[in-house]
Amino acid sequence: MKWIPLTILVCIAAAAITLAAGYAGAGITAGWLAFILAGAVWMTIHHYTRWREGDTLGWIAFTAAAAVGLLIQRSSALMLAGVLMALIAWDLTSLDWRFRSAQRTEHTERLVRNHVRTLAFTLIGAGLIILPAMMVRVEFGFVPVLVLGALALLLLNRAIRALRS
Amino acid sequence: MAAKPRLLLVLIFALVLLGLATLNGGIVALAMPLVIYLAVARLRMPEAPRLRVGRSLSLEHTSPGVPVVVKLDITNEGAPLDELRVEDVVCPGLEVIEGETSTLGALPSGGRIELAYTVRGNRGEFNFDDLHIRSSDSLGLFEQFHVLSAPAYLLIRPQVRRLRPVAVRPPRTRGFAGPIPARQSGSGVDFIGLREYQMGDRLRWMNWRVSARHEQNLFTNQFEQERIADVGLILDARQQNDVLTSDGSLFDHAIQATASLADTFLEAGNRVGLLIYGRGREGVFPGYGHVQRERIFRALGRTAAGHNYALESLYHLPTRFFPAHSQIVFIGPLNGGDDVAVLTRLRANGYAVMVVSPDPVAFEMQGLIPESNQSNVRRTDTRSGHERPAITRMTGTEYANRLSYVERRLALLRLKRVGVQVIDWRVDQPLDQALATASPRGNPSALGREARA
């Protein structure tokens, strides 16, 4: 599967460019340069070293940067696109590592087809659902926010329990 | 929970909290792709796989260093598996020289995976069993680990070196013709005595020189019958007598010697039994031929040195295991006075005893003293012909070596004095060479020389 490493590099570059564009749109030159540099570092780490945690760190850093970008009122669509690209890159690096660590592979096409299909379904679905949601702005008072926060915590708690079981 | 889902949960939790804390819906929405990603992975988590596993080996019994092909056949009898990692657990002591022991792939319902690899190893008993199976969802987040059983057994017999016929002289032999002098007159090769001519004696057996000295009588030569004998091999597998160095274990050399001796005695047609004295008292009852050789090799292949408080001394040696007045061959480094006393008692009970003793002192010193210094600390004794530590440049270790050497020589000498055939074997030399120096009747002049030395 020679296309996987290339796709990873493309996704990292796309994530970096998208986030950089988001920051550049707001006139923050330092942020723009920082993303280009961060993307280059992630690509270098992935391509030239065997440091597996480097990919995870890159993905977390990009997601955190997107959150900061939203916090300082950058473009929601670009930030979301950046996060999705970073998630695809991280997912594919994980698949790539699994292939690299295997001595032999069986029914590879089937495995990759299943993986890509699930990933595409997940991310396209997520993008389609969330993008309109980000465009819509609804204002809540303190109490509904509190209730929603409690609900979110409750759901997370249930999710963790379900995952543990 | 695996690390990746946990990391995703932490990130989701952090984003949601940050969004709520800053009242920024966009940040909460940013967590949604991660939530969906995690949820899809959880929904696609596979059920427990139903796999049928078969393992086959190209050989079940083999010799050290011979390649053995291990084949695994895995069939999916359940639902399709999006991602499956199969890893075979190779027994410690075996080296994989070709092929792969693990594979990654998707396995459709009814699909098959075949794994094949080649191993080789040294003497031992190897039980293949565990097969590690990891099945996960197609995103690789949620993993299930299973251990399947695919048993197979491989026995690597000890290395056998061909030896020249070993000269033994047991007091009692069996009724069939063989290579061992029977101490009885009859058809044979070696001259044993004279008797008066009797009707039917062959003329070519007539001793004309003696007959010429007597006016009325004729004399014929008598020859010693050669028959097969009972040979009992006793392998000393007591842990306290084993010496482990970077070069290996002295016990392995003792096993190799036992296998070679068993092969030689059985090849000559003798009835051979084996007793392994160490962790327990494992025995192969006396028998003949190829089947018996295979039994002995199997027993030697799976044995290991072990400790048993009850069997620390040779006093519990079951002497009745071997027929009375048979030949006993004890293989092992001697341990102090107890061993000598027991072997002496065996000799007194009427057994012919041979001791093949791998030299533990020389073996241990080889591992302790660097190669470059060895020439400085050992020299050949001109009187006995044995190597011994030189007096020059002696350190504490060398003093200990010298004392051990003297103690061992004295123990061997005590055995020789009671008529035990002693083969002092330095394991870096061929066993055949050491056996060639041994005489079944002993060499009194050499014994006297050593005693004086």
Q: Given pLDDT bands bounded at 50, 70 and 90, which one contains residue A74?
A: low
> What is d(CA B184, CA B330) in angstroms, rounded to the nearest whole number?
26
Phi-psi sector, B403: left (phi>0), alpha (psi -120 to 50), beta: alpha
**B36 contact A CB<8A:** yes
State whether B257 and B391 are in the same domain. yes
- Interface size between A and B, measured as CB pairs under 8 A: 144
d(CA B282, CA B258): 14
Domain region containing B304: 230-452
Per-residue buried b or exposed e for B238-260, using 16+ beta carbons within 10 Å of the residue's own CB: beebbbeeeeeebbbbbbbbbbb
Find the residue in A nearest to B81 (Cα): A111
Domain count, chain B: 3
Answer yes or no: do B207 and B237 share one domain: no
Q: Which of A80, A99, A104 sits opposite B30 (nearest CB)?
A: A80
Q: Which of residues 297-326 of B touch A (CB under 8 A)?
A: none
A11: which residues sit within 8 A by CB, 6+ positions away? A85, A86, A88, A89, A92
Which chain A residues touch B82 with a CB distance below 8 Å? 111, 114-115
Per-residue pLDDT of chain B (453 residues; tens, 9 = 90+): 678 888 888 898 888 888 888 877 788 888 888 888 888 888 888 888 889 999 999 998 888 889 999 999 999 888 888 888 999 989 888 999 998 888 988 888 888 888 899 999 888 889 998 999 999 888 888 888 899 999 999 989 898 888 888 888 887 777 676 677 767 677 777 787 888 888 888 888 888 998 899 888 889 888 777 777 889 999 999 988 888 887 788 999 999 999 999 999 998 888 899 999 988 888 889 998 889 999 999 899 888 888 888 787 888 888 788 888 888 999 999 876 688 889 999 999 889 999 999 998 888 887 675 544 554 555 555 555 566 555 555 677 778 888 888 888 998 999 999 989 899 999 888 988 888 876 555 444 444 444 444
How far apart (Å, rounded) are the C-alpha atoms in residues B219 and B211?
A: 5
Residues of B in contact with A164 (CB under 8 A): 1
pTM, to two decimals: 0.68
CA-based nearest residue in chain A for residue B33: A126
CA nearest B115 in A: which residue? A104
> Residue B423 sits in a domain of what CATH number?
3.40.50
Q: Could you count the other beta carbons within 10 Å of the beta carbon of residue B94?
A: 18
Residues B67 and B195 in one domain: no
Same domain, B273 and B348: yes
Give the angle B228-B446-B425 at the CA atoms, nearest 5°: 60
Mind telling me how many Å the CA of B154 is from chain A's nearest CA?
Answer: 24
Question: pLDDT of B141-161, one tens digit each?
Answer: 888 889 999 999 998 989 888
d(CA B448, CA B453): 8
* B172 located within any domain: no
Chain A positions in Cβ-Cβ contact with residue B20 (cut-off 8 Å): 145, 148-149, 152
Residues B247 and B284 in one domain: yes
Complex ipTM value: 0.83
Q: Are residues B235 and B149 in the same domain?
A: no
Residue A85 has pLDDT above 70, yes or no: yes
CA A146 to chain centre: 28
Q: Do A118 and B33 touch (CB under 8 A)?
A: no
Tokens of B411: 């123990």
Residues in chain B: 453
